[in-house]
Amino acid sequence: MTLREVTATQELEVTDTQALLSQLCMGGPVPQDALNLSEQDMAMAALYTAMYGETIECHVPCSACDRKFETQFELSDWIASLRSGPDITRTGPNTFLYSDFSFRVPMSGDLDALGDVPPKARAKQLAQACVLEGTPDQQELEAALMRAGPMLDDDIEAHCPHCDAHQTFPLRLDAYFWAALRRERPIIIREIHQIAMAYNWPRSEIMSLPRSLRREHVRLILSDHRPRGVSSWR
Ligand SMILES: [Zn+2]
């Protein structure tokens, strides 16, 4: 899957990250059943990295002392840690073999089919729906599934720097990415404003600039407006 670069139109107007991913796929949207859930998450990770870089930065309240702290890690390290697990054999585009059972990684349709299954039972039922042959032990099945198709929806371990309490907090890349897009909204609007003021270009033209080119123009505009001979940090 090759992704084209995002524009301000998409950054400001998409309604969710899946829609953004579909719009940026060269050759048109990928049908839902073409990628399993892990492949969808990996495509989302590639888009996140292209837009914001590798780092994931979380501000979370401590479960023990309730004070907020910051923790950060690299997206590639997160993916690598999720992929640790038993050695499995790929036997087809989405079929795998481990021990005495074969399985596949879940698709969107599997999630839809869960319907009203209570949250606690969902992971187990989803994993069981992916068994193709054999009767695996649930723990073995989940480990093999994680290795074949990790999903970026996990409990992250952290230490509170204030009280040293060890804890976990849930993180879903999809939701984190969406929050990052929302947080950047005022910055993007400011960039459009700066380019419009400096060049007098029509809004539609600015809105369709690739993100990196838009930022390059803003950098030039800001460096031109800085008084000469004055340090930028004064
Ligand atoms: Zn604490």
The pLDDT tens digits of the residues spanning 125-135 come to: 999 999 999 99
What is the 183 CA–ligand 1 centroid distance (Å)? 26
pLDDT band at 234; cut points 50, 70, 90: very low
Which pLDDT score is estimated for 66?
A: 95
What is the 68 CA–ligand 1 centroid distance (Å)? 8
What is the 72 CA–ligand 1 centroid distance (Å)? 16
pLDDT band at 35; cut points 50, 70, 90: confident
Q: Which of 23-32, 139-148, 198-207 has the lowest mean pLDDT?
A: 23-32
Mapped onto helix, strand or coil, the DSSP state of residue 162 is coil
Q: Which of 18-27, 105-114, 200-209, 220-229 has the lowest mean pLDDT?
A: 220-229
Which pLDDT score is estimated for 41?
A: 94
Which pLDDT score is estimated for 42?
A: 94
Residue range 180-191: average pLDDT?
A: 96
Ion ligand 1 residues within 5 Å by Cβ: 62, 64-65, 160, 162-163, 165
Residue range 105-126: average pLDDT?
A: 88
Residue range 56-81: average pLDDT?
A: 95
Which pLDDT score is estimated for 25?
A: 86
Q: Is it the case that residue 95 has pLDDT exceeding 90?
A: yes
Q: Where are the beta strands (DSSP E) in the chain?
A: 55-61, 68-74, 89-92, 95-98, 101-103, 131-133, 153-159, 166-172
Q: Is it the case that residue 210 has pLDDT exceeding 90?
A: yes
Q: Is it the case that residue 194 has pLDDT exceeding 80?
A: yes
pLDDT band at 55; cut points 50, 70, 90: very high
Q: How many residues does the chain have?
A: 234
Which pLDDT score is estimated for 158?
A: 94
Residue range 148-174: average pLDDT?
A: 94
What is the 228 CA–ligand 1 centroid distance (Å)? 47
What is the 70 CA–ligand 1 centroid distance (Å)? 11
By C-alpha distance, which of 228, 230, 211 is closest to 50? 211
Which tokens go with 15?
A: 């309604």
Alpha helices in the chain (DSSP H): 8-13, 17-24, 37-52, 75-83, 108-114, 119-129, 138-148, 173-199, 203-207, 211-225
What is the 59 CA–ligand 1 centroid distance (Å)? 12
By C-alpha distance, which of 23, 17, 16, 10 is closest to 1? 23
Q: Is it the case that residue 226 has pLDDT exceeding 90?
A: no
What is the 154 CA–ligand 1 centroid distance (Å)? 21
Q: Is it the case that residue 229 has pLDDT exceeding 60?
A: no
pLDDT band at 120; cut points 50, 70, 90: confident
What is the 36 CA–ligand 1 centroid distance (Å)? 38
Mean pLDDT across the chain, nearest whole number? Answer: 91
